[in-house]
Structure 1
């Protein structure tokens, strides 16, 4: 038994046995490419990240994207294994809700190490992120909200868990808490269990999951569902039939227009808000601005004609209210503000 950085006592042998696969064992790409991918991943949390250079590197060779996806997905295991780590903590009960502060998002990522040593170090680090607390009894229903300054981790339905983005909320219903209602954005990790079905309500739409990893961004006028692993089903009385969304794909709904678009989604970029970035790939501008409302605190209005524009790029979450200005600079748009409204229009000459 060992003592963690926050005073919690944990079973080191149990933690070391968790399935943190060493990246260096992959035979998909060579180690040199993995090292470069790791470098880009480390830099992605920096304010001066060279996103143009990163995009050029990513598109230069198909193996680059494979390597980067592998690095990012292995990194995400520290978050995804949180419930198993919690069960390994033997002497101090774990709370099922943990706030993640701004400092949590600014932390340096662990250097990657292969073999049992790397696994043990990563597992020990993940245990240190879990603060000791008291395990509450599970009510039939509850509402959980993330603060406007940070994210929140939520465990539900036994071994499932999710990351709730800042300013978002989640309602959990039923004794087994398999019926959820999301306002805002969340990243879900649901291990497959025979016979178990998780339903997330997003307005007039339902996302049905049997076991996968995916992101939902639900706003008043838009819905975005992107899948990193597995398959989910999108259902609604407004759809002629349920839509299956598999890994590497997304569906975007513009509620006012009544349109549904199927798109590609890079698995490693799904749930990018967890790493302090909002990454979009050929995304309709109305979807982007609708999601930025939660960070700016103001209604964002697009000038006529801009609804057809699309955005590809990354925005730093820690810029907060400046995110709209960052978007405007990248798209060469003009910004004007009046009270609680931000207007975006084409720059002169466009």
Structure 2
């Protein structure tokens, strides 16, 4: 065979070898690199959506507004690019918070309202939720996100978890005592009051005519505020490689007990806010109620159990008590 006949064959073989080498490098290095880069961008989008929705919950809890609605789209799948459209997927879920170390694992505090006979005429068991994203067939790392108690955690491989915005759990505890998480805890319960504006006569000694008029220093109205965050039982989970949505709606229900209330009791647990318990927050809020006809109930006072109570003397000056519950329902779909 002549050399000039072999040359085209060798050239074709070299071209094929170059193409095979290029395709091998393309599949072994370029495609995984591009898919990892796309997956990182996807997880950044998830993180941003969770941060926005966390702010939505903070606002809904603190503003005490009726008929609020917020929604955030969450990218569940990623890792695709122009030359490889295969995507990962993920799950988005919302569940009621449970902690077996609490006295009642489903609630963070409870409020009981009593009348003069000791009968319960009103009650509330306050709850929280957590929501999470978990990846499926991720092209980078199995990194997910979970929101609980006002802050975000980054999760890895379904078992490891670390706070996103704090260096460690000690920093989380510090924020619970005096930082942003304390602000979130404070938004979950509170008390406002109205002073009796009736002017009563003040008499001088040995005088039948009033020398002046003054306010009694008693309350005429007491508003209890409580935030209850629940998961929508019908829309709490989605699995997809497209987009999911986190949505919250808030509604306020107000119950007036007229002038029947004589005792208010509340108790909370050390979990999840440590010393910044809802019971302590309620107690501090009541301590700012400067009314002569509302006094601490020493029998119910038990700080080690985060249990407190207040008595209302309806005979001195009637107090209209209203329980306002901000119901925040969170759903994933």
If the length of structure 2 is used for normalisation, what is the TM-score? Answer: 0.22
More RCO (CA 8 Å, sep 6+): 2
Higher strand proportion (structure 1 or 2) = 2
Structure 1 or 2, whichever has the larger Rg, is 2
TM-score by length of 1: 0.21
